[in-house]
C-alpha cells in the first residue's frame, strides 16, 4: 500500500511542530508506519541548508538565493527520504513544505508566484501532499507563543506584527489556491483541543485507512 504525505503549514509560533508530533504519535498508535520530518531539513543536506539559512543575517542572502536553497533542500529531502518512504507505505508527516516557500520567499520577499511554482515543478514535479493542515491564529497569539518558546530566534522569528499578518494572509491564500489538499484549522486554544480537530480531519480525509470517529 502507498503511504500518505501530510504537511503542516502556518506562520511562526502557530504550533506546527507540536501538532505534527501529536499526529505522528497518534498514527503510530494506530499501528501505521510513520515518519516525522521537517523543512528546511529532514536529512543531512537539508539540515546543512537549514543551518546556513538560520545563521545568515537577512541582508546576507538575496531572496532568490534563499528560494533556490529552499528548493535545493526540498529536492534532496524529497528524492532521498519523502518519496522512498511513501513508496514503502509510510505516513510521512512534514513540518512545512513548499507552501512555506510561496509565502516566505513569495509573499514576503516578493518573488513571483509563477517563479516559485517553476522551481517547484523542476524539483518535485507534480507531487503534492495528500493533506495540508494550515494552522491559523491571530498574530498576537503566535507572537506571544514565540516569545515564551524559543531561546534562539532567527530572522523570521523576529518579525513585526505586520509581517506576521502578511504571512497569515499568505497561507490563507495558499489554502484557497490548493483547496483540494488544504484545510485551515483555528489554532487558538489548548493543544489537545486543536489536535482533536486535526485528528477528525485526518480521519475524514484519509478514511480508507483509518477508523471513522
Ligand atoms: P521553523 O522550522 O522554526 O518554522 O523554521 C523554519 C523557518 O524557515 C521559518 O521561519 C520559515 C522558513 N522557511 C522559508 O522561508 N521557506 C521555506 O520554504 C521553508 C520550508 C521554511
- Residue at 75 is within a domain: yes
Check residue 207 and give its pLDDT. Answer: 63
**Nearest CA, atom 13, ligand 1:** 100
- Residue segments in the chain with a per-residue pLDDT below the cut of 50: 212-213
Asked if the structure places residue 182 within a domain, the reply is: yes
State the Cα torsion 26-32-38-97 to the nearest 10°: -100
In a domain, 209, yes or no: no
What pTM value is reported for the model?
0.94
Q: Does 70 sit in the ligand 1 pocket, CB within 6 Å? A: yes
* 100 close to ligand 1 (CB < 6 Angstrom): yes
User: What pLDDT was estimated at residue 185?
Assistant: 98
Q: Tell me whether residue 213 is in a domain.
A: no
pLDDT at 149: 76
- The pLDDT value given to residue 213: 46
In a domain, 143, yes or no: yes
Which residue's entry shows cell 509563477? 114
**Residues linked to residue 6 through DSSP beta bridges, in sequence order:** 93, 131
Answer whether 90 contacts ligand 1 (Cβ < 6 A). Answer: no
Q: pLDDT value at position 211?
A: 52
- Hey, which of 18, 61, 70 would you mutate to test ligand 1's pocket, going by the most ligand atoms within 8 Å of its Cβ? 70
The protein residue with its alpha carbon nearest to ligand 1, atom 4, reads 12
- Residue 13 sits in which domain range? 4-204
Q: How many residues would you count in the chain?
A: 213
Read off the CATH number of the domain in which 147 is found: 3.40.50.300
What is the total count of domains within the chain?
Answer: 1
The candidate with the shortest Cα–Cα distance to 92, out of 1, 29, 25, 5, is 5
Residue 211 maps to a domain: no
Amino acid at each position: 500500500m502507498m503511504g500518505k504525505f501530510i504537511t503542516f503549514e502556518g506562520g511562526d509560533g502557530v504550533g506546527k511542530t507540536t501538532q505534527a508530533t501529536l499526529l505522528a504519535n497518534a498514527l503510530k498508535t494506530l499501528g501505521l508506519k510513520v515518519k516525522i520530518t521537517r523543512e528546511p531539513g529532514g536529512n543531512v543536506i537539508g539540515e546543512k541548508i537549514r543551518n546556513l539559512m538560520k545563521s545568515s543575517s537577512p541582508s546576507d542572502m538575496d531572496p532568490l538565493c534563499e528560494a533556490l536553497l529552499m528548493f535545493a533542500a526540498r529536492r534532496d529531502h524529497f528524492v532521498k527520504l519523502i518519496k522512498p518512504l511513501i513508496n514503502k507505505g509510510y505516513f510521512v508527516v512534514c513540518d512545512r513544505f513548499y507552501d512555506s516557500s510561496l509565502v516566505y520567499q513569495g509573499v514576503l520577499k516578493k518573488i513571483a508566484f509563477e517563479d516559485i511554482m517553476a522551481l517547484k515543478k523542476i524539483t518535485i514535479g507534480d507531487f503534492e501532499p495528500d493533506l495540508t493542515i494550515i494552522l491559523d491564529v491571530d498574530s498576537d497569539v503566535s507572537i506571544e507563543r514565540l516569545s515564551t518558546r524559543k531561546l534562539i530566534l532567527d530572522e523570521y522569528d523576529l518579525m513585526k506584527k505586520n509581517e506576521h499578518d502578511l504571512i497569515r494572509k499568505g497561507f490563507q491564500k495558499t489554502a484557497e489556491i490548493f483547496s483540494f489538499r488544504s484545510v485551515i484549522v483555528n489554532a487558538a486554544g489548548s493543544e489537545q483541543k486543536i489536535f482533536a480537530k486535526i485528528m477528525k480531519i485526518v480521519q475524514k480525509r484519509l478514511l480508507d485507512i483509518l477508523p471513522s470517529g
